[in-house]
Structure 1
Amino acid sequence: MVWFPPTGKQLAVTAGWFLTGLTLFGVGAHLSYVNIAPQQARTKARSDFVREYLRKKYGYEGGRK
């Protein structure tokens, strides 16, 4: 197997794909960060609903407050 050093065009294309991937990763991280609060709110609402349901049905108070 013979290895030839990449040409300038090949390096530019590689750098472009690397920057594209880095940008997509950054956008994904940003969207994940932006959506944390709504996800936490849904989780808390679901937890509160289940806790209230169990309290009404069985008189269960739960381990956390």
Structure 2
Amino acid sequence: MVVWSYPPTARQMAVTGGAFVIGGLLFGVGAYFSFVNVAPGQERLKSRRKTMRNCIKKRFRNL
């Protein structure tokens, strides 16, 4: 635990609270965009996997 020699001013407390709120909002926005972009990323991965599988099948079918 930290013991201060003097208590923080009202402005310092407001700045600290504002930084905390802004950090929480940024975290929430990042989590939201991460959640929103999961389905398109999965679709791209499925498409890429299907394309690679077809390419490998085509290549080894001709051997």
Q: TM-score, normalised by structure 2?
A: 0.84
Which structure 2 residue ranges, 5 or more long, are not aligned? none
Q: What is residue 17 of structure 2 aligned with on the other side?
A: 15
SS in 2 for 1:16: helix
Following superposition, which runs of at least 4 residues in structure 1 exceed 4 angstroms of deviation? Answer: none
Computed over aligned residues only, the root mean square deviation of the Cα atoms, in angstroms, reads: 1.2
Write the distance in 2 (CA, Å) between the matches of 1:31 and 1:3: 43
Larger RCO (CA under 8 A, 6+ residues apart): 1
Q: TM-score, normalised by structure 1?
A: 0.82
Q: Alignment identity in percent?
A: 47
Which structure 1 residue ranges, 5 or more long, are not aligned? 60-65
Which structure shows the higher helix fraction?
2
